[in-house]
């Protein structure tokens, strides 16, 4: 018995299933375009071996950690925080014994896919099979064909983007490029640490930005110039995009003197919460203008309340599964930015949301009108079978397919990349097949759209050029 059924995620109704299968076969082997994600640049620069199954599947995966914690498993038992269990096999056994908690979740699909396709494991994970799986994974990881670059090649990736701070020197990207390896790894400019007044160490980060660029980041004009310089540097290293993680989608377009005064205030660290929010809002519009100038595609990931639990943040730090979505508006919020550059043919802004109620109400209407907008794929908790279905059902009738941005895997879990693209391709093919069997689309059109959704839109949206 295999962990993976060949018809997984295909609709049960036979005629729809048959067409879904045919559509999927037409796109299954297309290269993976990964224009947004969080793989570790060191993997590409140094090509290190992974240590063990717990390091690969449990400890860094906040989807996995949060579910186990929610059912009473202590962080320490997962090898995290003070008193962390040091033995990786023990951590793995804890995970395996609780694997039933993931029934019905995308984590289950991704992990089963990776165990089966990457490591050749076909027994369902449980307390009973934990040791065998741990050993099988460990055995593989000691071999060169399981190092990151080899996996990149094996997965059929044609390009992968990392997400990198504004102060990053991109040394690992340089190392990857200089290594002679044929993979294409591009950085993404993510400047939150120097644009969000609430970010830890904001003032020091501004100073560092000045040092790196030689710009006077004590002045508004110099600060903007420093961003331009860093964006240009990222572009020379292959970047085609920037990314902006904001608590809300608010934008502003202040008169120059007000923006300057706000920057001066924010630099002092004495800005109120509202002033900090206005500064972030203003910066989104500034970045949109820069995008028009330098051609870097702008991404906005809005609506996560980070570190909801003070206790978890203090003890465990960021990215431990306690970032919670909240209600997010886009209509009034994006208006200042869109009034500034929304009709400028050079703008390319990809919008992401954690608030699905905005799909049909706000995002599809906006993307179906403004030429510069594209809708990013379902993000984070919604990057799943039901989430993808809701996305297509909610946005297609208003925005069509061409105003969507193709798939992002958005992951820091390397082995889940093929699984995530597999799920997305299956879901999109099922959606197209449903349109055909209900006679909303002709069959030849579905076969034309399937590679668009699986591959071409991502490449085109992010200006990634042709596959090598």
Range 368-427, binding a copy of itself (CB under 8 A)? 368-371, 373, 381-382, 384-387, 393-394, 396-403
> Could you give the CA distance from residue 139 to residue 312 in angstroms, rounded to a whole number?
34
Contacts of a copy of itself in 274-303 (CB under 8 A): none
Nearer to a copy of itself, 130 or 160 (CB): 130
Query: What DSSP string runs through 290-349?
Result: HHHHH-PEEEEEE-EE----HHHHHHH-S-SS--EE-----HHHHHHHHHHHTT-TT--E
> Cβ(110)–Cβ(416) under 8 Å?
yes
Cα separations in angstroms, 80 against 141, 224, 229: 22, 39, 38
Cβ 137 to a copy of itself shortest distance, Å: 21
Interface pick for a copy of itself out of 342, 376, 377, 406 (rule CB under 8 A): 342
Stretch near a copy of itself under the rule CB under 8 A, chosen from 22-30, 255-263, 362-370, 406-414: 362-370
Q: Are strands 304-305 and 324-325 parallel, antiparallel or unpaired?
A: antiparallel
Nearer to a copy of itself among residue 87 and residue 393 (C-beta)? 393
Q: Choose, by CB under 8 A, the member of 49, 83, 87, 104 that binds a copy of itself.
A: 104
* Non-local CB neighbours of 142 within 8 Å, separated by 6+ positions: 49
Q: Which helix (H) or strand (E) holds 210?
A: helix 202-213
The residue written with tokens 């090649």 in the block is 153
C-alpha to C-alpha distances, 453 to 123, 189, 242, nearest whole angstrom: 32, 25, 22
Question: HSE (CB half, 13 Å, CA atoms) of 292?
Answer: 18
| Nearer Cβ to a copy of itself (11/45) | 11
Q: Which is nearer to a copy of itself, 81 or 165 (CB)?
A: 81
119 binds a copy of itself (CB under 8 A): no
- Between 78 and 176, whose beta carbon lies closer to a copy of itself? 78
Question: How far is C-alpha 361 from the chain's CA centre?
Answer: 23
Is residue 255 involved in binding a copy of itself (CB under 8 A)?
no
Nearer to a copy of itself, 9 or 414 (CB): 9
Say if residues 45 and 303 touch (Cβ distance below 8 Å): no
- Residue closer to a copy of itself by CB (options 196, 383) is 383
Within 159-198, the residues that bind a copy of itself by CB under 8 A are: none
Task: Please tell me whether residue 59 binds a copy of itself under the rule CB under 8 A.
Answer: no
Among residue numbers 29 through 58, which ones bind a copy of itself (CB under 8 A)? none
Shortest distance, CB of residue 174 to a copy of itself, whole angstroms? 36
Residues 303-332 binding a copy of itself (CB under 8 A) are: 305, 308-312, 321-322, 324-327, 329, 331-332
Is residue 463 a contact residue for a copy of itself (CB under 8 A)? no
- 12 in contact with a copy of itself (CB under 8 A): yes
C-alpha to C-alpha distance for 415 and 198, rounded to whole angstroms: 34
- Among the listed residues 193, 284, 435, 450, the single contact to a copy of itself using CB under 8 A: 435
């Amino acid at each position: 018995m295999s962990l993976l059924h060949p018809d997984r995620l295909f609709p049960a109704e036979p005629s729809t299933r048959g067409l879904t299968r045919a559509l999927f076969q037409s796109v299954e082997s297309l290269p993976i375009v990964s224009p947004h994600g969080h793989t570790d640049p060191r993997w590409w620069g140094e090509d290190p071996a992974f240590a063990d199954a717990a390091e690969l599947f449990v400890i860094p995966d906040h989807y996995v950690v949060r579910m186990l914690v929610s059912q009473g498993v202590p962080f320490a038992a997962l090898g995290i925080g003070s008193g962390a269990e040091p033995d990786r096999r023990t951590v793995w056994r804890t995970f395996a014994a609780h694997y039933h908690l993931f029934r019905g979740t995308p984590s289950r699909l991704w992990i089963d896919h990776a165990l089966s396709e990457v490591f050749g494991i076909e027994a369902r994970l449980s307390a009973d099979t934990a040791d065998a799986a741990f050993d099988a994974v460990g055995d593989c990881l000691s071999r060169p064909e399981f190092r990151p670059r080899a996996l990149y090649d094996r997965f059929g990736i044609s390009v992968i983007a990392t997400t990198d701070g504004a102060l990053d020197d991109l040394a690992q990207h340089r190392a990857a490029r200089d290594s002679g390896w044929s993979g294409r790894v591009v950085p993404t400019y993510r400047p939150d640490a120097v644009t969000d007044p609430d970010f830890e160490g904001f003032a020091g980060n501004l100073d560092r930005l000045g040092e790196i660029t030689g710009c006077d980041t004590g002045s508004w004009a110099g600060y903007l110039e420093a961003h331009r310089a860093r964006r240009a540097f990222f572009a020379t290293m292959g970047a085609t995009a920037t990314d902006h993680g904001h608590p809300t989608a608010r934008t502003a377009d202040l008169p120059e003197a007000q923006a300057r005064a706000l920057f001066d205030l924010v630099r002092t660290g004495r800005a109120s919460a509202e002033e900090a929010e206005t500064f972030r809002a203003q910066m989104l519009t500034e970045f949109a203008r820069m995008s028009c100038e330098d051609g870097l595609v702008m991404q906005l990931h809005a609506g996560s309340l980070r570190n909801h639990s003070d206790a978890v943040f203090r003890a465990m730090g960021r990215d431990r599964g306690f970032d919670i979505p909240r209600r997010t508006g886009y209509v009034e919020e994006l208006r200042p930015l869109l009034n500034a550059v929304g009709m400028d043919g050079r703008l390319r802004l990809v919008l992401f949301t954690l608030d699905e109620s905005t799909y049909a109400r706000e995002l599809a209407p906006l993307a179906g009108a403004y030429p510069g907008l594209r809708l990013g794929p379902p993000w984070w908790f919604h990057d799943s079978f039901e989430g993808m279905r809701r996305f297509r059902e909610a946005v297609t009738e208003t925005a069509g397919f061409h105003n969507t941005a193709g798939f992002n895997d958005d992951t820091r879990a390397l082995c889940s990349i093929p699984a995530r693209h597999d799920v997305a391709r299956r879901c999109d093919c099922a959606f197209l097949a449903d349109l055909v069997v209900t006679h909303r689309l002709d069959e030849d059109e579905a076969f034309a759209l399937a590679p668009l959704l699986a591959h071409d839109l991502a490449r085109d949206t992010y200006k990634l050029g042709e596959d090598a």
